[in-house]
Amino acid sequence: MTMTNKKWAVKRITVNLAAQEAEKLEKYCEETGRPATDIIRELIRGLPVGNQTKSLNPTNNTGNHTSNHTSEFLN
């Protein structure tokens, strides 16, 4: 019987962070002992979709959507 390695289907992305954002993520990872990949996946899983998006993500003055999810987990 052969064992198969069940790995996730992977889509690699690159995220550009401001220095302050990167430092905050690194500090959080050090404090929790968790890798950044796990933290980012957790944040993405918590994003609202569908009807939730309209009520939870108001637009700011520039018309860009804002989200409180990052600050919620990384503060």
How far is residue 46 from each of residues 5, 41, 60, 67, measured CA to CA in Å? 27, 9, 21, 11
Q: Which residues are bridge partners to 65 per DSSP?
A: 59
For residues 24 and 14, what is the distance between their CA atoms, to the nearest angstrom? 17
Is residue 35 pLDDT above 70, yes or no?
Answer: yes
On the question of pLDDT at 69 being above 70, the answer is no
Q: Does residue 58 surpass a pLDDT of 70?
A: no
The pTM for the full model equals 0.56
Element (H, E) at 29: helix 19-32
pLDDT at 44: 95
Q: What is the C-alpha to C-alpha distance for residues 18 and 12, in angstroms, rounded to an integer?
A: 20
pLDDT greater than 90 at residue 5 = no
